[in-house]
Amino acid sequence: MKNIIKNILIMTSCIVVCFGICALMAFILGPSKSGKKNYKLESISKLGKEYCEANNMNTDFCILIDMSIHSGKNRFFIYDLNSNLIIKQCLVSHGCGENTWSMDDSKTSPSFSNIQDSHLSSLGKYKIGERGHSSFGVHVKYLLHGLDKTNSNACKRDIVFHSWSAISNQEVYPGGTPEGWGCPSISNDNFNYVDKLLKNQTKPTLMWIYK
């Protein structure tokens, strides 16, 4: 009997230790690696849905870009506003500013601007507009109409949504995504996926770039 009790105590101790280790790892790794929800993304998506409903925009899905995430990691999210789920996620570029075009010099700390020729991306909400021809990637682009003071010059600055063959389909961390002149660009394959979704919409879709 003593041996049985001893074995039970040992097994119980092992279970407690295992749970403790799992809890510690979850705390260290944080939400994105421990399987927990991305509460920041959920919060932005709720505000985005409210904005779309109030402005007669697409309420099926929106595009959310979290510029606080390292550029070598997925930070472009197609978010289902009805199911509250990420449909797809991938890499996306930001503006290089005074750094070298197509490099990843600001992969951890991008700057933002609404000024002409700054070669920087602009934070804020955008209405994805007309589909047209692009000289980049799969030769398709979407005009972006800035809806906030922080991105009101998007059209004047020729800031558009397009693909870029230099961008990978997969995460490249600790490396970064090639930086352009301010346009949110994704890989050719991922753009083709998004393009099919956008073409089927009867209402304009929201793109929200935030940090």
**For position 108, what pLDDT does the model report?**
97
Rounded distance between C-alpha atoms, residue 173 and residue 176, angstroms: 6
- pLDDT value at position 11? 52
- Quick: pLDDT tens for 42-84: 999 999 999 999 999 999 999 999 999 999 999 999 999 999 9
User: Helical H runs in 35-122?
Assistant: 39-54
Q: Give the pTM.
A: 0.83
Would you state the pLDDT for residue 9? Answer: 47
* Strands 61-66 and 185-186, sheet pairing: unpaired
* Furthest-apart CA atoms within the chain: distance in Å: 83
Q: What is the pLDDT of residue 25?
A: 40
Q: 158-177, pLDDT tens digit by residue?
A: 999 999 999 999 999 999 99
CATH number belonging to the domain at 37-210, selected among 2.40.440.10, 3.50.50.60, 3.30.720.110, 1.10.645.10: 2.40.440.10
Specify the amino acid at residue 146. G
Nearest CA-CA partner of 190 in 58, 91, 80, 104: 91
Q: How many CB atoms lie within 10 A of CB 10?
A: 10
- Residue 30 has what pLDDT? 38
2 in helix, strand or coil?
Answer: helix
Residue 29 pLDDT: 38
* Burial group, residue 176, by CB count within 10 angstroms (0-12, 13-18, 19+): buried
Interatomic CA distance for residues 144 and 132, integer angstroms: 11
* Low-confidence spans in the chain with pLDDT less than 50: 5-6, 8-9, 12, 14-35
Cβ of 178: how many Cβ atoms within 10 Å? 23
Q: Among candidates 100, 34, 89, 41, which has minimal Cα distance to 68?
A: 41
Going by the DSSP 8-state scheme, the letter that residue 121 receives in this structure is B
Please name the amino acid found at residue 13.
S
Q: Find out whether 48 and 206 touch, Cβ atoms under 8 Å.
A: yes
| Class of residue 93 by CB neighbours under 10 A (exposed 0-12, middle 13-18, buried 19+) | buried
